[in-house]
Amino acid sequence: MAGYRRAGQHVRMPLRARLPIPKEDAVPDLTDSSAPGPPRAEASGPPFPADHVGSLPRRGAGPGAWEPVTDDPAAAKATLRAGFLARRVARPENERAAAADAIADVLVARLTGVRTLAAFVPDPTEPGHGRIPAAFAGLGARVLLPVVPAQGRQLDWAVDTGRHEPGRFGLMEPGGPRLDATAIGAADVVVVPALVVDRAGIRLGRGGGYYDRALVHARPDALLVTLAFDDEVVDELPAEEHDRPVDAVVTPSGWLDLPGRSR
């Protein structure tokens, strides 16, 4: 187990089980159950200065600093989400492939010794597509992958057997017996998706709230890791009470430990 923990690693925040999770009708739903695949953004470019993507300054950071157009975190997240989704769609295929190789290599090296790992199957625009979760086979770990239910926004889980099939929204998921939402509680490490993450560990997902709900069932001491392209690690993101910071981000450049906002 010591293989995936850095010496002197920060203390992770306790489980936020008592914090309010957004009501279902309050979570922006960017998905369409009738769509043949996962949601995609129009490749119209980010709705904020392009030169600030990947180095998003903090509010009031000086001349030229990016300034939010609203003090409402949910609205600010929606604006950022659209921009980073568009950037992913426009990213060249060769850059995605090279990033996937680098990210997979770093993950396998750093997670040596893990016994149970919860992860996901990246879609074609996401970091790690084509290499993850197959690369985890070399760890000898039990790997859990999410299953999006036919209704609701609470993820189920299944053990990865290497056979994947399209599920809801066209997202790939494992076949075999389904485990309920609490199965993630067995994981020593949880690898979660993100569109962008800040240096305090706040991640921005696609807006469905699935992982906000899933992480309530994760162990308080589970190591939370997200994946991102190098230009998707920014200085600061808007945060809400239910956001649980991640402990680290893996990019093509390597593994970066994140201190978290309140640890």
Confidence at residue 173, expressed as pLDDT on a 0 to 100 scale: 75
Burial of 151 (0-12, 13-18, 19+ CB in 10 A): exposed
The percentage of the chain sitting over the pLDDT mark of 70, rounded to a whole number, equals: 69
Alpha carbons 226 and 30: distance in angstroms, whole number: 20
Alpha carbons 71 and 152: distance in angstroms, whole number: 29
Q: Which two tokens stand for residue 56?
A: 């998003």
Which are the contacts of 140, defined by CB distance < 8 A and separation ≥ 6?
Answer: none
Q: What is the pLDDT of residues 27-84, one digit of tens each?
A: 333 333 333 334 333 333 333 333 333 434 344 333 333 455 567 878 888 889 899 9
CB 116 within 8 A of CB 187: yes
Closest CA to 89 of 233, 198, 195: 195
Q: What confidence category does residue 12 fall into, taking pLDDT thresholds of 50, 70 and 90?
A: very low
CATH architecture designation of domain 93-263: 3-Layer(aba) Sandwich (3.40)
pTM of the full structure: 0.73
